[in-house]
């Protein structure tokens, strides 16, 4: 009789040992499935964010490569009231011709609008550096004539527009219509000398 009682205990023990592996197999399968699902979700999110970042980087590169005239600067409207911005005086030694000579220039610039004026102020250290380099490379004979001063004003305007990142659009070949602008107007429209001394 003792053996008959022991046999069911062994069966119960065998059932008890077999039950935990079934539960642990189910739990293991659920964990593996959950990890796979989370991995797929994470991979999909990573790829989606990577595509968005690549698209954003591509847009930034395109924006940097494209001209500011099309994307950042407003169109020049000569009918609007003018916006002028005074520049601090420039004093430089000129290239020697007849002994040492220096140039003192006080100028104002006409800009498209007040926003461009604020942008010019933020770039002023670089603008001053470039203009000082331009002026110090000149000879007195090059800038004392009216045509020489006009050419210098155009060079200063071009330097400022270049520092601001504006590039004129490529010139179209063919005949120009009457009344058409000679060239595209940048954020800095023109430079005016209010004082020009060569000594």
Tell me which of 23-27, 132-136, 184-188 is least confident: 23-27
Mean pLDDT (whole number) for 136-155: 95
Residue-level pLDDT at 60 = 53
Q: Is the pLDDT of residue 150 over 70?
A: yes
Q: What are residue 42's DSSP bridge partners?
A: none
3-39 pLDDT tens trace: 555 555 555 545 555 555 667 788 888 888 888 888 8
pLDDT tens by residue, 69-112: 344 688 888 888 999 999 999 999 999 988 899 999 999 999 99
- Which stretch of 93-97, 177-181, 195-199 has the lowest confidence by average pLDDT? 177-181
Give the whole-angstrom CA distance, residue 9 versus residue 118: 92
pLDDT for position 173 = 61
CATH number of 75-168+184-198: 3.30.479.30
Tokens of 55: 């698209």
Task: Annotate 54-116 with DSSP letters as a single string.
Answer: HHHHHHHHHHHHS-HHHHTSPPP-TTSPPEEEE---EEEEPBPSSS--EEEEEEEEEESSHHH
Domain boundaries, the chain: 1-65, 75-168+184-198
């Amino acid at each position: 009789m003792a053996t008959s009682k022991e046999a069911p205990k062994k069966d119960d023990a065998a059932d008890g040992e077999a039950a935990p592996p079934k539960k642990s197999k189910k739990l293991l399968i659920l964990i593996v499935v959950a990890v796979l699902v989370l991995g797929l979700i994470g991979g999909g999110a990573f790829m989606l964010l990577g595509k968005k970042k690549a698209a954003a980087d591509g847009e930034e590169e395109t924006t940097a490569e494209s001209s500011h005239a099309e994307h950042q600067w407003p169109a020049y409207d000569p009918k609007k009231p003018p916006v002028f911005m005074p520049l601090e005086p420039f004093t430089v030694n000129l290239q020697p011709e007849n002994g040492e000579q220096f140039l003192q220039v006080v100028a104002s610039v006409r800009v498209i609008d007040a926003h461009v004026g604020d942008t010019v102020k933020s770039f002023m250290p670089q603008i001053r550096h470039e203009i000082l380099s331009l002026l110090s490379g000149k000879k007195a004979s090059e800038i004392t004539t009216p045509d020489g001063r006009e050419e210098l004003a155009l060079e200063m305007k071009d330097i400022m527009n270049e520092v601001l990142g504006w590039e004129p659009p490529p010139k179209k070949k063919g005949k120009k219509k009457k009344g058409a602008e000679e060239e595209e107007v940048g954020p800095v429209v023109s430079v005016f000398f209010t004082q020009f001394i060569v000594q």
